[in-house]
Structure 1
Amino acid sequence: MPKQAFVALVTCFHEDETINYDATRAQVRRQVAAGNNIMCAGTNGDFSALTFEEKVKLTETVVDEVAGRVKVIVNAGMPATFETLKLVREFDRIGVDAIAVITPFFIACTQDGLIRHFSTVADAVKTPIYLYDIPARTQNHIEPETAKILAGHGNIAGIKDSGGAQKTLEAYLAVAKEVPGFEVYSGPDHLVLWALQNGAAGCISGLGNAMPDVLAGILKGFNSGDLVDAERQQDIYTAFRTDLYALGFAPAMVKRALYLQDASVGASRQPALLPNDEQDAQIKVILHRYGLL
């Protein structure tokens, strides 16, 4: 099977912080044109700042705009299993290709608690469930042995690893080799090609919002067997990541880099970082360096 790239799509906002659905549709079209699949309501989509009703409408909008041309994954994770269940049932009704479930945040979980949480959610719907590990943001980590146990559930199809550590990614990839049908999607932008070469099913990248064609190029090169070009594109992607993320919190930098290319995406909801003229000037220098402005 060809490897696949998903972009963790930004959610666009008006100046009054209401969702700009038309601008979000435009970002969907941009990613589809590049050849990337979509993940909505993820970390780069300001999911923690969205209401239940907004997440449902946002997902309906994205699915409608995609119109079957690419795949759509949506993040449903919330601190409590109860509200996560409400979301996954709505997303199941809408008809996404898969549902990612970020580990609970604020609530400290044992590994047994995580097993119960994910199993209960996966039992509730027919849509395939993907575990979503990002311990730096949630303070809860899915241990590889826990992932292996959950991989045995008939409706848990894989995991998105956004931990950033190659060692953890290697451990999840080992689980995938042991459990047929369990897929690993890499989150770290600098490990896209490495992950593909080591058995990942693909990647889910936030940086692709600002650089969609290069992300698509890594996948195209790998899938066609042109590793020289895949490595060239990965080098560009890694360098852009290094330059941009040195300026601040990664999702905020991605959103701002995209805003400076297309102001219709808006800023993030407060209390996110406010625009900073000095920082914007630095981002513009980086965007010019990579031919994005």
Structure 2
Amino acid sequence: MSKKAFVALVTCFNEDETINFAATRAQVRRQVEAGNNIMCAGTNGDFSALTYDEKVRLTEEVVDEVGGRVDVIVNAGMPATFETLKLAREFDRIGVTAIAVITPFFIACTQEGLVRHFSTVADAVSTPVYLYDIPARTQNHIEPETAERLSAHGNIAGIKDSGGAKETLEAYLAISARVPGFEVYSGPDHLVLWSLQNGAAGCISGLGNAMPQVLAGILDAYNAGDLAEAERQQAIFTRFRTDLYGLGFPPALVKRALYLTDPSVGASRQPALLPDAEQDRKIAEILARYELT
């Protein structure tokens, strides 16, 4: 089975911080044309700054724009199971390919609490559910033992790992090797090829917003059996990641890099970091170096 690349799509905003749906649709088309699948309302999509109704409409707009050409995953995760459940049911109605559920944030959870949370959501929808682990942002981590327990649920199809720890990713991949139908999607952009080679079903990339063709190129070359080309594309992706993320918070930098090439994507909602002229100059230099201007 071919491996898949998803881009954790940015949400575009107008100057008054309302969502620019036309610009967001343009970003969807850009990714589809490059050959990538879409994840919306994720970390790179400013999901924590969106209202309930905005998430529902955003998902409807993305699914409509995709028109069945590629897969669409949407993140339903919120601090409370109650709201996560409501969102998941709406996404189930809209007809997405899968529903990701980020671990609750702000509320400290036990592993047993996480099992109840994810199981409750997966019980309530027919769309496959993927666990979404990003402990640096949520302060709640899905331990590999917990992921293995949840892998037995008939509607939990896998996990998106954005923890950044190779050891945890290896542990999730070991579960995938033991449990048929439980997929792992890697989040760290420097580990895309490594993850594919070690059993991941694909990746979900934030950096792909700024470099869609290279991300697609890694997957295309790997799926075609051209490891040398996949390694070449991964090396470019990794260098770009190192250069760009060395300037600060990754999602904000991806959004700003996009803005400097296409102002229609807008800035992030406040209280995100305000643009800085010196940082913009450095980002512009990086974009020029990789011929992305």
Residue 142 of structure 2 corresponds to 142
Query: Structure 2 CA distance, aligned partners of 1:170 and 1:261?
Result: 36
Matched, 1:181 2:146: no
Code of the residue aligned with 2:52 in structure 1: it is: F
Query: Structure 2 CA distance, aligned partners of 1:60 and 1:240?
Result: 32
Give the match's secondary structure for 1:104. coil
Residue 172 of structure 1 corresponds to 172
Residue 191 of structure 2 corresponds to 191
Matched, 1:43 2:43: yes
Matched, 1:68 2:72: no
Give the match's secondary structure for 1:180. coil
Mapping 1:133-282, distance limit 5 Å = 133-282=133-282
Quote how far apart the aligned CAs of 1:177 are.
Answer: 0.7
Quote how far apart the aligned CAs of 1:266 are.
Answer: 0.1
Quote how far apart the aligned CAs of 1:134 are.
Answer: 0.1
Code of the residue aligned with 2:139 in structure 1: it is: Q
Code of the residue aligned with 2:5 in structure 1: it is: A
Give the match's secondary structure for 1:62. helix
Quote how far apart the aligned CAs of 1:141 are.
Answer: 0.2
Unaligned runs of 5+ in 1: none
Q: Which runs of 4+ in 1 moved over 4 A?
A: none
Code of the residue aligned with 1:82 in structure 2: it is: F
Query: Structure 2 CA distance, aligned partners of 1:118 and 1:97?
Result: 18
Matched, 1:291 2:291: yes
Code of the residue aligned with 1:272 in structure 2: it is: A
Quote how far apart the aligned CAs of 1:176 are.
Answer: 0.3
Residue 108 of structure 1 corresponds to 108
Residues 187-233 of structure 1 show CA distances to partners (whole Å, capped at 9, x for unaligned) of 00000000000000000000000000000000001000000000000
Code of the residue aligned with 1:58 in structure 2: it is: L
Query: Structure 2 CA distance, aligned partners of 1:275 and 1:80?
Result: 32
Query: Structure 2 CA distance, aligned partners of 1:72 and 1:183?
Result: 16
The Cα RMSD (Å) is 0.3
Query: Structure 1 CA distance, aligned partners of 2:228 and 2:260?
Result: 31
Give the match's secondary structure for 2:292. coil
Code of the residue aligned with 2:94 in structure 1: it is: I
Query: Structure 1 CA distance, aligned partners of 2:261 and 2:133?
Result: 30
Query: Structure 1 CA distance, aligned partners of 2:162 and 2:30?
Result: 24
Give the match's secondary structure for 1:83. helix
Give the match's secondary structure for 1:225. coil
Code of the residue aligned with 1:18 in structure 2: it is: T
Quote how far apart the aligned CAs of 1:170 are.
Answer: 0.2
Quote how far apart the aligned CAs of 1:78 are.
Answer: 0.2
Quote how far apart the aligned CAs of 1:157 are.
Answer: 0.1
Give the match's secondary structure for 1:203. strand
Code of the residue aligned with 1:255 in structure 2: it is: K
Code of the residue aligned with 1:40 in structure 2: it is: C
Unaligned runs of 5+ in 2: none
Residue 95 of structure 1 corresponds to 95
Quote how far apart the aligned CAs of 1:53 are.
Answer: 0.1
Query: Structure 2 CA distance, aligned partners of 1:42 and 1:158?
Result: 16
Query: Structure 2 CA distance, aligned partners of 1:104 and 1:9?
Result: 21
Quote how far apart the aligned CAs of 1:96 are.
Answer: 0.0
Code of the residue aligned with 1:279 in structure 2: it is: Q
